[in-house]
Structure 1
Amino acid sequence: MNERLHTAYSPETFRAQAHALVDVLADHLAQAETGQQPTLNYLDPDDQLAYWQADFKKPVNADPLPLLRDMIGRSIHLHNPKFMGHQVTPPLPLAALTGLLTGLLNQGMAVYEMGMTANAFERIVTHWLAGRLSLGSEAGGLLTSGGTLANLTALLTARAVAAPTDVWENGTSDRLAIMVSDEAHYCVDRAARIMGLGTDGIIKIPTNDRFQMQTELLEPYLEQAKARGLTVFAVVGSACSTSTGSYDNLMAIADFCTKHNIWFHADGAHGGVAALSDTYRPLVQGIERADSVVVDFHKMMMIPALVTAVLYKRDTDSYRTFQQKAQYLWADANAKDWFNSGKRAFECTKLMMSAKVYAVLRTYGDEIFTENVDTLYGLARRFAGQIQQRAGFELAVEPESNIVCFRYVGDLTDPGQLDDLNNQIRRQLLRDGQFYIVQTTLRGRVYLRVSLMNPLTTDDHLATLLTEVERLGRAFSKKDAIVL
């Protein structure tokens, strides 16, 4: 064998590199969790690219540790409790270690022989989650790579069930449509467009002052759709919405869908896990009546991205989504065999994503997921209380999940100035690197947005954040330097 290849595949080389890397990562976790390193060392995009372009031109180095350390230092640090930005979890170290194992094994899952263990894990994990969502004895599902693919998969199934002809085989010229909250995640809109529904086929239902779908408008909007020659085949309920973490009234949506024999899909990518908590389960009342549900393990369940469950009230519906023949993969394309995952998922070479979830369940039990939901949702409510007790701050809406939207107002009253001020506060926080938060636009106005994803974040961290936001707000206001 070529000497370079021999060295690259050497178990002893791997042993040495892996031991060294685990030490580096353990130090990274310790420094991140104690706040000894910032959430990120921000560089403008062109400067970041220039750095790595220069690095790429360097001679090769048989020791990868300097490169790996540099990658860590120039990445955002999710395990820092002051990371409060996007809906991305700080992964459990065990789940990340399992990812190392699955990466080395590199088992696909389209056919049973290539993914014997992973397909079995997937069956167990999806049935466990369907059971916790109370979807019924016939429920089941699959795992796929993220909420976008998951929502698209579920809506394709809904269309296959509802369409008067076999769309997969014959195509369709029917004018089909879905109904969804105007605060729903953009991936639902994207899925509908991929399916060819177009703008007319995405009927957006206005939301109330809490950013929840106004379900009383479903009936009149359905009648309007019919008058325009559209056939509504699915209604999507948000559990919860992305910007504010607000939950739609799933029970009302379920009643409407039952009345009109329309597929009910619940987008629980972020907040469906409320069903695992006795305290917060009322938020998803009605999800058990959904025909399909998606839940991201990489949001509130501490699993590295991407792992998303697509669950069906009737597991057999999942076999209606894709009906391709591939003789080199399986002998009978029409057989409903759970162990050939490629029949039901977009991916053919699908990662062993189920192994990460299974390892966590077997090691810590499902209580760890419940504890994470209870911790983060409770923290958000206490943070909202802090905001309301501080002069000069405004809460957008009482949080239902772990997402909190607020803004600094100080003595300003002009809406445009407030937008500029909060944008500038957020930009300065980004460059300082001690906290990482984002912003969103609600009803045309800019708000700071916090997603509490790290169970190690404390009330004191949040109080310090508000103090820093206030300091920056006052400084920028005094300088009259509200410039984007």
Structure 2
Amino acid sequence: MSSSRQARRFDQYFLTDQAESIESYQQAIAIAQNLLITNLSQQRQAYTGLAPWVLEESFRNFCPKNFIQKNYQQIQTELSQIIGNAAMVVHPNCIAHLHCPPLIPAIAAELIIASLNQSMDSWDQSPSATILEQQLTRWLCDLFGYSNAANGTFTSGGTQSNLMGLLLARDNYAKTHLNWQIQQQGLPPEAQQFRILCSDVAHFTVRQAAAILGLGEGTVIPIETDGNFQLKPTILVKKLTELKESNLRPIAIVATAGTTDFSSIDPLPKLAKIAQENDLWFHVDAAYGGALKLSQIHSQKLKGIELADSITVDFHKLFYQPISCGAFLLKNQANFSLIKLHADYLNPEGNEAQGIPDLVTKSIQTTRRFDALKLWLSLKILGVKTFGEMIDSTIELAEAIAHIIAEDTELELANIPTINAIVFRYQPSQGTAAEIDRINEQIPKKLMLEGKAIIAQTQVKGKNYLKFTLLNPLTTLEDLQKLLIEIKSLGKTLQQI
């Protein structure tokens, strides 16, 4: 068989200009589309309610030892089971986590991204993608109040962006204060003295980043928060003084703009001033709250974010993008030189002189998706105004349900929402502390296994609480009022067990 005939055998598996290829592509997309629409139209709950062990039994034969070739029609039943037993993020009662329903234009963009499969690690793999990402990154820097000296890169999300912020904070400190190049020399002897300060409700990825960077979780110093779960500047200043008196070396302050549990925003202007006075890197984790920049009403809550040396922002939260999609923004793009590397086969040093863009030098990823297309297409179709109105509607909803919870004698509200996360608990008039903790721990599990709702649980001062994360602009106040009735009814039932 000739090589051309051999190659033609595989046309049906790749998207090309060949008729057989196009027909196969259209068939696959049509089947996937129909399965999604059918399951969404039939799914009236946030989840089917099947327990993990039941799902495991149902899927037992999905991955045989030897996969035998089948057509799409033959596996529709299996696909339907996978889709049908997903958490339905668009359902108004799917409100556990920072897990958003994706916008239709972003879903369309995902199809284009996957089909073109451009990799952002070199210009010759992603010509149009490189240019668009650069333009959208510039727009984001402007949105967050940065000057033309700023730059950024798309990332997989907050974990990677926070890691990059602390990586650059570490390396910048070593270079400017110790005349030490970590990229070439490894960690300096003084690294064991490095300290990173953040609130005691900051995201766990601050500790994770410290561990990955070779500094250890003990490097992270949690600072007490106030009644609104915001970092206390006075305690921060006191702790900085104590660290310096102990011959330790603070290298960065991490502020949070939207904590995972309480959606609280640290006092950014005050923290920026403290960082500047102490010559510290100031990183703002705005993975959750960064979207407020699109709001006409609430953008002032991020006042001071433009003073940050680096910013984390996620788009798979309040920007309603499919997972994964985030960005890391850097106030002074010259600091990307701390991680800049060249490979002859990928991005030779002569590229810049020839005017060839090179995005891999400002990322800790090599192969990287063209995720910028999702955000770009969404902004094009919705516009900033509609984005802002959707975000505003969720904050208004959170404020309304928080008021209702606060007035309910059977419930206890833990926070006034700054954005749209509500922490509360079922609090009957009778029952021991241990019993009430047990009930609040069981309520989310029962709701999910009964297929009624997906809500979260967390802890506040050692006690079990429930959480609504109200990202979905399709969720209504009536939906939440009905859910609160269900929670209280379930609480009463559990109290009798």
TM-score (norm 1): 0.93
Q: Is 2:339 the counterpart of 1:332?
A: no
* Residue 203 of structure 2: aligned partner: 185
1:382 is the counterpart of 2:400: yes
Q: Once structures 1 and 2 are overlaid, which stretch shifts more, 424-433 or 441-450?
A: 424-433
Moved more, 374-383 or 62-71: 62-71
1:323/1:333 contact within 8 Å kept? no
Q: State the percentage of identical aligned residues.
A: 30
CA distance in 2, matches of 1:212, 1:162: 26
Query: Structure 1 residues 260-269 or 151-160, which shifts more?
Result: 151-160
Partner-residue secondary structure (3-state), 2:152? strand
- Hey, what's the Cα distance between the residues in 2 that align with 1:289 and 1:414? 48
- Check the 8 A contact 2:206/2:220 in 1, yes or no: no
1:221 to 232, 239, 242: 239
Tell me the residue number matched to 1:238. 256
**What is the aligned counterpart of 2:155 among 133, 144, 148?**
144
Q: 2:81 aligns with which of 55, 70, 73?
A: 70
Q: Secondary structure at 1:295's aligned position in 2? A: strand
Distance in 1, Cα, partners of 2:350 & 2:454? 48
Distance in structure 1 (CA, Å) of the matches to 2:58 and 2:449 = 18
Distance 1:68 1:333 in 2: 48
Residue 424 (structure 1) shift? 1.8
Query: Which runs of structure 1 show a deviation greater than 6 angstroms over 4 or more consecutive aligned residues?
Result: none
Shift of 1:283: 1.9
Distance apart, 1:228 and its partner CA: 3.0
Q: Deviations over 1:433-473 (max 9, x none)?
A: 12110100011111101101211000000001101001111
Which of 163, 173, 198 aligns to 2:189? It is 173
Residues in 2 aligned to 1:100 and 1:213: alpha-carbon distance in whole angstroms? 42
Closer, same or farther in 2 for the Cα pair 1:61/1:79, shift >3 Å? Answer: same
Matches of 1:338 and 1:439, distance apart in 2 = 49
Deviations 1:331-390 (A, max 9, x none): 218959893221111211101111111111222222232122111111111110121232
- Is contact 1:212-1:249 (8 Å) kept? yes
Any idea what the Cα deviations from partners look like across 1:176-196, whole Å, max 9, x if unmatched?
A: 221111100111110011111
Which has the larger displacement, 156-165 or 291-300? Answer: 156-165
3-state SS, counterpart of residue 61 of structure 2: helix
Which segments of 5 or more consecutive residues in structure 2 lack a partner in the other structure?
1-5, 15-20
Separation in 1 of the partners of 2:51 and 2:258? 32
Contact in 1 for aligned 2:123/2:357 (Cα 8 Å): yes
Q: 1:344 aligns with which of 352, 362, 372?
A: 362
Partner of 2:18: none
Listed as ranges, the matches of 1:413-424 within 5 Å are 414-424=432-442
| Residues 455 and 29 (structure 1), Cα distance of their counterparts in 2 relative to 1, 3 Å cut | farther
2: CA distance, partners of 1:109 / 1:199: 32
Conserved? CA contact 2:89–2:100, under 8 Å: yes
Amino acid at match of 1:112: W
Q: Equivalents in 2 of 1:312, 1:369: separation in Å?
A: 24
- 1:114 counterpart letter in structure 2: Q
Secondary structure of the residue aligned to 1:299 is: coil
Matches within 5 A, 1:198-277: 198-277=216-295
CA distance in 2, matches of 1:157, 1:302: 28
Aligned to 1:120: 131
Higher mean displacement: 280-289 or 20-29? 20-29
Gaps in structure 1 of 5+ consecutive residues: none
- Structure 1 segment 445-460 matched on structure 2, within 5 A: 445-460=463-478
- Whole-Å separation in 2 of the counterparts to 1:449 and 1:260: 37
Secondary structure of the corresponding residue to residue 448 of structure 1: strand
Q: Aligned pair in 2 of structure 1 residues 327, 408: CA closer, same or farther (>3 Å)?
A: same
Cα contact 2:351–2:357 (8 A) shared by 1: no
Q: Does 1:47 align with 2:54?
A: yes
Q: Deviations over 1:419-439 (max 9, x none)?
A: 111112222111111211010
Q: Deviations over 1:122-175 (max 9, x none)?
A: 112222122121122322211011111111011111222221211111112222
Q: Distance in 2 between matches of 1:264 and 1:333?
A: 33
Equivalent residues in 2 for 1:147-158 (5 A)?
A: 147-158=158-169
CA distance in 2, matches of 1:59, 1:198: 47
CA-based RMSD: 2.0
SS at match of 1:142: strand
Deviations 1:79-128 (A, max 9, x none): 11111111011101221121111111111111111111221121122221
Which of 319, 335, 341 is the aligned partner of 1:317? Answer: 335
| SS of residue paired to 1:449 | strand
Instruction: Tell me, in whole angstroms, the C-alpha distance in 2 between the residues paired with 1:307 and 1:339.
Output: 21
Tell me the distance in 1 between the aligned counterparts of 2:53 and 2:486: 28
SS at match of 1:55: coil
Question: Equivalent residue of 1:143, what SS?
Answer: strand
For 1:124 and 1:323, the matched residues in 2 are separated by 21
Matched positions, count: 474
Instruction: Name the SS for the 2:419 alignment partner.
Output: coil
* Partners of 1:373 and 1:318 in 2: CA distance: 32
Secondary structure of 2:444 counterpart: helix
- Which amino acid is the alignment partner of residue 49 of structure 2? Y
Query: What is the aligned counterpart of 1:106 among 101, 117, 123?
Result: 117
Contact 1:324 1:333 in 2 (8 A): no
**Distance of 1:5 and 1:398 partners within structure 2:** 58
- Contact kept, 8 Å, 2:352 with 2:358, in 1: the verdict is no
The one-letter amino acid paired with 2:135 is I
